């Protein structure tokens, strides 16, 4: 009997301990909507860390027709903040979620932010999302502004810089980034119909080699040209590139050209030059004699003599150098793709060798040649 009573006492003690354990549970509701339950042996005192709601207020510094600068501050309790910008007429359902998903800046210190390539005469909103020291999102701050109306520009001239905001001019500015150089002020009828009437510019930089195609086929660019002179007459680089980009996955060179840099306002975006356009670049910016070549009867290769090639490349690179160090890459001894297609297996490329010659040739499309894109504006 005594053993039985001892067993009952032990069971009652265990039940009491279990009850105490069940009672010593603390549920904590978090700001993100989730909860955690903590089990403790005993609760003597609970203290809460009360912090101010973190904020990251925004103040306008300046804005022009295509860019804005603002300063973001941090209130007490703010550990970091994210900043994004959106058009006022496209306000997201959740500004906090939009900022988190599209933040261009994520910082732990107060400072200035800048957004570029904006549309002139358009209402925008800059929004900041503040986070507290526990990493939890807190308040959203916004600032509205309107970009200025863009002033009408004088007609572009060969040798002008095209800047990242879509403007052009012959003078460099500390507030504008040169990305290309104007080589022609006339455009094809097709490109004029697309709204690009001011001219063409060649990129100040270039890209490493990429294959023209990874899955050769007939008429991939929409049209083919020959070595009978139609190669030099081909100026439809934008049309060819747009056609190639309908299957960008199998046309690495066209895809690379398109992604060369951010698209300046009111321009076509970057594209592979057609064969005739590459020659126009060298004629207008390098002084190349457009008709000073010989064409091999068997291969159709058009070759300029080494003296002309050397002088052209030197003059072209001197023009590019006026953009300043860090803003250009000189034309090197290399192979450059065009968007002009010759056959199922081959496409045209420009071979630049300042010491020997300069030529327009064709080669297999799966070869990896360099890329220097053009842009219409």
Q: What is the pLDDT of residues 155-197, one digit of tens each?
A: 999 999 999 999 999 999 988 999 999 999 999 999 999 999 9
The yes-or-no verdict on residue 245 having pLDDT over 60 is: yes
Q: Measured in Å, how far apart are the chain's first and last C-alpha atoms? A: 102
Segment 33-54, tens digit of pLDDT = 666 666 666 655 656 555 668 9
Segment 337-352, tens digit of pLDDT = 999 999 999 999 999 9
Sheet holding 78-87, edge to edge: 105-107, 78-87, 123-132, 137-146
With a CB cutoff of 8 Å and minimum separation 6, the contacts of 116 are 66, 67, 164, 165, 262
For residue 46, what pLDDT is reported? 59
Query: Where does the pLDDT of residue 30 fall: very low under 50, low under 70, confident under 90, or very high at 90 and above?
Result: low
Report the relative pairing of strands 346-353 and 357-364 from DSSP bridges.
antiparallel
Cα dist. 296→109, 231, 301 in Å? 64, 14, 5
214 token code pair: 């990874």
The yes-or-no verdict on residue 206 having pLDDT over 80 is: yes
Percentage, residues of the chain above pLDDT 70: 86
For residue 258, what pLDDT is reported? 98
Please compute the mean of the pLDDT values over residues 144-160 and round it to a whole number: 94
Lowest average pLDDT, out of 45-54, 217-226, 295-304, 323-332, goes to: 45-54
Please compute the mean of the pLDDT values over residues 106-124 and round it to a whole number: 95
The yes-or-no verdict on residue 32 having pLDDT over 90 is: no
The residues that bridge with 99 in the sheet, in sequence order, are: none
For residue 332, what pLDDT is reported? 87
The yes-or-no verdict on residue 271 having pLDDT over 50 is: yes
For residue 135, what pLDDT is reported? 93
For residue 43, what pLDDT is reported? 56
234 token code pair: 């081909």
pTM equals: 0.72
For residue 14, what pLDDT is reported? 44
Query: Where does the pLDDT of residue 26 fall: very low under 50, low under 70, confident under 90, or very high at 90 and above?
Result: low
155: left (phi over 0), alpha (psi -120 to 50) or beta: beta
Query: Where does the pLDDT of residue 293 fall: very low under 50, low under 70, confident under 90, or very high at 90 and above?
Result: very high
Please compute the mean of the pLDDT values over residues 67-74 and round it to a whole number: 96
């Amino acid at each position: 009997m005594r053993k039985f009573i001892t067993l009952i006492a032990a069971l009652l003690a265990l039940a009491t301990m279990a009850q105490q354990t069940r009672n010593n549970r603390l549920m904590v509701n978090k700001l993100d909507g989730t909860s955690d339950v903590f089990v403790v042996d005993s609760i003597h005192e609970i203290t809460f860390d009360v912090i101010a709601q973190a904020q990251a207020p925004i103040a306008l510094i300046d804005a022009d027709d295509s860019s804005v600068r603002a300063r973001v501050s941090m209130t007490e309790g703010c550990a970091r903040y994210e900043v994004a910008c959106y058009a006022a007429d496209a306000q997201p359902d959740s500004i906090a979620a939009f900022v988190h998903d599209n933040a261009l800046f994520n910082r732990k210190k107060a400072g200035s932010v800048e957004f570029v390539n904006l549309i002139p005469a358009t209402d925008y909103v800059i929004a900041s999302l503040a986070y507290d020291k526990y990493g939890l999102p807190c308040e959203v701050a916004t600032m509205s502004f309107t970009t200025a109306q863009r002033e009408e520009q004088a007609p572009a001239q060969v040798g002008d810089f095209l800047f990242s905001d879509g403007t052009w001019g012959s003078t460099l500015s500390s507030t504008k980034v040169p990305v290309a150089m104007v080589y022609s002020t006339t455009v094809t009828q097709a490109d004029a119909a697309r709204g690009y009437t001011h001219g063409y510019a060649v990129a100040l930089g270039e890209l490493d080699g990429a294959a023209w195609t990874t899955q050769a086929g007939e008429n991939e660019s929409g049209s083919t040209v020959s070595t009978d002179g139609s190669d030099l007459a081909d100026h439809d680089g934008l049309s060819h590139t747009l056609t190639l980009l309908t299957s960008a996955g199998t046309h690495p060179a066209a895809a690379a050209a398109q992604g060369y840099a951010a698209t300046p306002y009111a321009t076509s975006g970057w594209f592979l030059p057609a064969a005739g356009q590459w020659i126009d670049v060298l004629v207008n910016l390098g002084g190349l004699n457009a008709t000073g070549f010989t064409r091999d009867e068997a291969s159709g290769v058009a070759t300029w003599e080494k003296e002309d090639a050397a002088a052209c490349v030197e003059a072209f690179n001197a023009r590019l150098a006026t953009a300043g160090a860090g803003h250009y890459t000189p034309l090197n001894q290399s192979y450059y793709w065009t968007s002009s297609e010759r056959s199922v297996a081959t496409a045209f490329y420009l071979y630049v060798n300042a010491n020997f010659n300069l030529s327009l040739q064709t080669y297999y499309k799966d070869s990896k040649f360099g890329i220097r894109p053009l842009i219409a504006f």
